[in-house]
Structure 1
């Protein structure tokens, strides 16, 4: 029995050391990452409210009107909102009452910070029946995009800034695990105290702070681990590979559709090729939310696709349910359909990673969980520091 106790205390001793050292080392980055994560959770809800007057174009009598061809609309957008760069892609909604969204996006791979790396990022809402540009949003300087890039790379170059964020998150994962080890009570009496707040009017602030750190930390730990690991998915390829291998049942090769390519000559491409592709997508997935079409221009980051793949988003609030369709970009011929239901579990988990990370996988309920857990994660380094500082102050007095 004494040997068992010794081993347990040894394990807890080093858990406490790691928990403290890592907490002091990455406390500030974890607070920043957590707060920006909480702020980003309700991005769609806020934007849907503030942009509601342009999300729908309000064109009268659309039943008797025709949609302007996608390529013609692109030319009108470029003329109405001229930039030094070509338009990148367009989001086409299946609901004809909604506006099309055209995007300017240029990425400079040689820059060292977000503001230089993202050369331009603008969203243009367009009435597809009249061609009227309803509004232009500069997403590069938009609140939520700045928040997102602080969260993702601390506004550093994405290629290596993600590691500046990823390393503290790795240490935070260890802190969460060691925190649960330290929280784990030795007996039933200890369990009662650690599962709930038992504050009285005489409870001191130090005790309240200790309980906030321990009890909130325990209850949020499983969700915090999920959000942390799904965040590391974007930082380290090994995490992506592990997610796919584990959930696909041991498959190590991700499905590759790059061999399905355009074979028709460029002369077959017309102003109506993209519309032909759009109409086929609408027939295949009439109940989908929207799909995205690349406009086929060259871009600063050597934007080259092995094939012309259309991304179909099935749900308004989530990206995890998505299908991919490959077309001949010159003739508009349908070459391949990779339906959401045909994906293995590994592919579905990879697709769902973003939605799990931001809490949108089950819409509002999981968003609320993500928001609250992010705030708790932001509080843990602060309450933890106060516990350490209080003990240190007491030791110095003694």
Structure 2
């Protein structure tokens, strides 16, 4: 009875695995390949734009952010400036990002000389990677993060988890067998046997990577998942603060917009941090309000996760909150590193390379899975009797 029940469960899992694979094969491969394309985005963009990211340091002090923005607008109005990246290195250019225009498009960002506001140029590769990112995260569905793209890609990630778990259960034999059986594909086979060997063995290699990708990818798709992870890994008061920080839904009443700049927040941040930072990203509030978010990275910090985050009232210059990476608990550091875990950067460039290769391998499972499905259909098809042997009525 137990053996029969085990066979029944595996038969059900096999159907679930096959159906999910057939339905999601193309979309999963598309998301994986776009993710692989972005694996070394930072290195590629830095290499392509090395000539416009540096300036000759001067003895004169650099312009304050508001003066820099005002001069830039006076020369040519590129649009509303929403974010400025400043550096403690006197030879680094200022990176300026703009908000969306009335048509919903976003102008290209610019690198600007911090001493004389000379426009050094728009970063090459930015538009390409922005499109790849929208395809990866939201499948280019209108609305981007506010549209249907987020739940759609999240549902695909859930489907991939179902395929990974069911595939592992189906492969698990009564006896574990040798390491060779688990990790070495049999390239001496051909046809269906080779397809099955590649599908199962290479799937075993990349399964931990795919699980890491999907479990962290769900963070960017579903609020309930994000809240659950934060509740599990954060201290209670931190979770409560995050929940309270979410902007309320608009009720139709327009609040008076207060014109704010960057200078007060920048001065308060410099007073708080001194020379301990390497670069800082100042972002204007997206909703009505005066509290500006400042993310900063230390001089020895290279990962996206290892950042400090400050909130400063841009009108009064008062420091509202300071969230330092060094003060986080282990669980909170995991939350901060979600993005770096998602792309393998938490393990340095070898990790990013491994995750990229795993993502590139995704179409292999789609192709071999479809071939295995078609071969099963062919094997199950009843053989057609020769015409000479047909009985009347058949």
TM range (shorter): 0.7 to 0.9
- Match of residue 279, structure 1, among 261, 267, 270: 270
Q: Using the alignment, how far apart are the partners of 1:376 and 1:318 within structure 2?
A: 26
Tell me if structure 1 keeps the 8 A contact 2:63–2:114: yes
Question: Could you say which structure has the larger radius of gyration?
Answer: 2
For the residues of structure 2 that align with 1:65 and 1:249, how far apart are their CA atoms?
46
- Deviation of residue 50 (structure 1)? 0.4
Deviates more, 1:247-256 or 1:236-245: 247-256
What TM-score does the superposition give when structure 2 sets the normalisation length? 0.84
Which structure exhibits the higher relative contact order, with contacts defined as CA atoms closer than 8 Å and separated by 6 or more residues?
A: 1
Matches of 2:267 and 2:324, distance apart in 1: 20
RMSD (Å), alpha carbons: 2.8
Q: Does 1:204 align with 2:190?
A: yes
Q: Counterpart of 1:290?
A: 279
Residue 99 (str. 1) matches residue 97 (str. 2):
no
Q: Residues of 1 paired with 2:42 and 2:20: CA distance?
A: 34
TM-score normalised by structure 1 residue count: 0.83
Residues 1:255 and 2:246 aligned together: no
Cα distance in 2 between the residues matched to 1:53 and 1:138: 11
Question: Is contact 2:290–2:313 with CA below 8 Å preserved after alignment?
Answer: no
Structure 1: gaps (5+ residues): 109-115, 260-265, 297-301
Residue in 2 that maps onto 1:187: 175
In the other structure, the counterpart of 1:23 is 21
Which whole-Å CA distance do the structure 2 matches of 1:335 and 1:249 have between them?
20
Provide the rounded CA distance (Å) in 2 between the counterparts of 1:55 and 1:326: 27
Structure 2 residue aligned with 1:231: 217
More off after superposition, 336-345 vs 153-162: 336-345
Aligned to 1:313: 297
Q: How does 1:51-66 map to 2 (within 5 A)?
A: 51-57=49-55, 59-60=56-57, 62=58, 64-66=59-61
Q: In the alignment, which residue of structure 1 is the partner of 2:164?
A: 176
1:379 Cα deviation after fit: 2.2
Instruction: Flag the 1:310–1:168 CA change in 2: closer, same or farther, 3 A.
Output: same
C-alpha separation between the residues in 1 aligned to 2:180 and 2:264?
A: 67
Q: Which runs of 5+ in 2 are unaligned?
A: 247-257, 384-394
Q: Equivalent residue for 2:386? A: none
Residues 1-398 of structure 1 mapped to structure 2, 5 A cutoff? 3-57=1-55, 59-60=56-57, 62=58, 64-83=59-78, 85-106=79-100, 118-137=104-123, 142-156=127-141, 157-158=143-144, 159=146, 160-189=148-177, 192-200=180-188, 203-248=189-234, 253-256=239-242, 272-283=263-274, 286-295=275-284, 303-305=287-289, 307-314=291-298, 317-396=302-381, 398=383
Deviation of the 1:119 alpha carbon: 2.0
